[in-house]
Amino acid sequence: MSKKNKEHGTNGHTPPISKKAYKDTLRKLQIELVKLQRHFIKCNDKILIILEGRDASGKDGTIKRIVQHLSPRETRVVALGKPSDRDRTSWYFQRYVPYLPAAQEFVLFNRSWDNRAGVERVMGFCTEAEHEEFMSSVSNFENMLVRSGVKLLKYYLDISKTEQKKRLEDRKSDPLKQWKISPIDDRAIKNWKAYSLARNEMLARSHNPIAPWTLVRANDKHLARLNIIKDLLDRLHYTGKDKRLIRPDPHIVFAYDVSNLENGQLAK
């Protein structure tokens, strides 16, 4: 096995896609997304997509391609910043509740309440008691959303340590990506192991049949984007679905299982 595949952030099975094939497939999938939006507006559906993952795992780029041709009136991207003093003294989930989807809305969270299980835990932005309270209540909170009619899909984008380091370095040299740079970036690599352990605990404790986690091997940005879109289209109901087009690659997008933490399917 090559060194690249040993890092486990790659899919190890699917060859890279050409630029032309990527653009052609993306356009077809974006047409399917428009079909989906037309359907859920008609049916008053509430859709919530959560994208989590390490720094530079590709969340921004994926969201950009999903919403690119959707109606902005019914589509919202939520990427909350640093919590205010009031946020810190409120019920933890309270700051997220106003952004949840109403009928006919498609909402994407670029990081979510699960930040408490990742960045906040590793960086010491929350206490151990606050972390434990979150882990004990997050499944009940998400299950309540699903029972209320929210269609919730949760994706965790996983990349290798080498790929993360490369992408973070690219940010520093690309003038168009300066907005992505944060003080936490420099500590992402240093705290790699701590983030791995926090990720493993988050997945193990917040995965459940009603609100399951879906894992994404995201070292190849293009394949990750296409397969996340395929997966969400495959799992949501809408009329006129092109079933052959939206079949995701199971080597890239797959349901979480406890065995993923031990069999090398996630970057360690």
Burial of 83-116, coded b for 16+ CB within 10 Å and e otherwise, reads eeeeeeeeebbebbeeebbeebbbbbbbbbbbbb
When pLDDT is averaged across residues 251-262 and rounded to a whole number, the result is 92
Residue 7 has pLDDT above 70, yes or no: no
Cα separation values, 147 from 105, 151, 162, 190, Å? 17, 9, 40, 40
Spell out where 111-259 has E strands: 150-158, 213-217, 253-255
Per-residue DSSP letter, 244: T
Per the model's pLDDT, the better-predicted residue between 121 and 4 turns out to be 121
Contact assessment for residue 163 and residue 9, using Cβ atoms and an 8 Å cutoff: yes
Residue 264 has pLDDT above 50, yes or no: yes
When pLDDT is averaged across residues 89-115 and rounded to a whole number, the result is 98
| Tens-digit pLDDT profile for residues 206-222 | 999 999 999 999 999 99
When pLDDT is averaged across residues 96-107 and rounded to a whole number, the result is 98
Residue 107, helix vs strand vs coil: strand
Residue 12: predicted pLDDT: 54
Contact assessment for residue 54 and residue 167, using Cβ atoms and an 8 Å cutoff: no
Domains and their CATH numbers in the chain:
3-261 (3.40.50.300)
| Tens-digit pLDDT profile for residues 171-214 | 888 887 887 777 777 789 999 999 999 999 999 999 999 999 99
When pLDDT is averaged across residues 52-79 and rounded to a whole number, the result is 97
Residue 14: predicted pLDDT: 85
